[in-house]
Amino acid sequence: MIKAGIVGATGYAGNELVRLLLGHGGAEIKWLYSRNSAGTPYKEIYKNFFQIIDMDCTDRDLSELVSDVDVVFTATPQGYLSTVLNREMLNKARFIDLSADYRIKDIGVYEKWYHLSHGSPELVKDAVYGLCEINREEIRKTRLLANPGCFTTCAILTAYPLVKEGLIEEKSIVINALSGVSGAGRSAKVQNLFCEVNENAKAYGVTTHRHTPEIEEQLSIAAGKDVMVNFTPHLVPMQRGILSTISADLKAGTTEDAISAAYEKYYGKEQFIRLLPYGECPETRHTEGSNFVDIGFKVDSRTGRAILMGALDNLVKGAAGQAVQNMNIMFSLPESQGLTAIPMVP
């Protein structure tokens, strides 16, 4: 039985980690860390756990708590883990970080986009980017796992096979993505109030969204050269979900069959990536509550561009579900353990 601790347990991603781990069968939660809710029963913070979990939040020193577990999940704001993590703690437990602190290898890029000074740059080289379907072998061996962001998971997985196989012009990639409000977290913000979000859709972080360098870095690794993208996120009035629509110029000779073959090559045997029939568009409601990513595409012969589409649940495959999937890989468990929930419709 894997002993797990969760830092940032009272946020939406933390709540989702609790839900998934309680139903996992191969893991047990030893403690729930929250500086703001220490001493508060978790079932009072999230009433869905009434008569299911009987545990109070703690704010004991993390360097002490880490001795009680095999793995620590940190669902915390950017900048937290990099300021507290050290090699001694890593020797005691594996860490799966849901923030961006260890996702980007170039420290200067991280500090520029996140406006933070990195607290432990010496550990960045040890971290593995936890996109399960792409970095599985590296994930098995690491003690520090950088869990990808929600927008990035959807965008990278949707574009990766075509970039890796050289089927699209790398300089022409444009990504438009829609997100549910839970992606902004649980903290009180005026812009996320019901009256601000309901019956409304808006772009935000235009040209400045912090997931941009993460997408570019991973697609650059796939392409073997620098890739820059236009990434524009949008907030829409739903609780969960990410929908990415990616357009790019096709390279000469690229056909529908070549694109289908590329997706099949990389994802044909992947349990959590569902490749839709040609021309079928993924919908967020078909992945809600699950660890699935649905991917579809269409070729626009008039413009010579491909339209690639991906959908996932931002709190599951885009956060906690992918973190549990990474834990399964790291501890040599069946990759789907605790993650077999069927999407909820309606």
pLDDT tens digits along 300-338: 999 999 999 999 999 999 999 999 999 999 999 999 999
Percent of the chain surpassing pLDDT 90: 96
Rg for the chain, CA atoms, rounded: 20
Residue of 57, 132, 150, 154 marked active site: 150
pLDDT tens digits along 221-230: 999 999 999 9
Dmax over Cα atoms in the chain, in whole Å?
Answer: 63
User: What pLDDT is attached to residue 296?
Assistant: 98
User: Cβ distance 121 to 139 under 8 Å?
Assistant: no
Structure tokens that stand for 335 in this block: 């990759």
- Position 289 confidence tier, pLDDT thresholds 50, 70, 90: very high
| Mean per-residue pLDDT, 236-258 | 97
pLDDT tens digits along 42-73: 999 999 999 999 999 999 999 999 999 999 99
Q: Are strands 305-312 and 242-249 parallel, antiparallel or unpaired?
A: antiparallel
- Position 177 confidence tier, pLDDT thresholds 50, 70, 90: very high
pLDDT tens digits along 17-47: 999 999 999 999 999 999 999 999 999 999 9
User: Cβ distance 72 to 99 under 8 Å?
Assistant: no
Distance between first and last Cα of the chain? 34
pTM: 0.96
- Position 149 confidence tier, pLDDT thresholds 50, 70, 90: very high
Structure tokens that stand for 224 in this block: 């073997």
User: Cβ distance 30 to 69 under 8 Å?
Assistant: yes
Is 150 assigned a catalytic role? Answer: yes
Cα separation of 281 and 204, whole Å?
24
For residue 133, pLDDT beyond 90: yes
- Position 184 confidence tier, pLDDT thresholds 50, 70, 90: confident
- Position 191 confidence tier, pLDDT thresholds 50, 70, 90: confident
Q: What are the φ and ψ backbone dihedral angles of 149, each rounded to 5 degrees?
A: -75, 170
Give the chain's mean pLDDT.
Answer: 97
- Position 187 confidence tier, pLDDT thresholds 50, 70, 90: confident
Domains of the chain: 2-126 (3.40.50.720), 151-314 (3.30.360.10)
- Position 5 confidence tier, pLDDT thresholds 50, 70, 90: very high
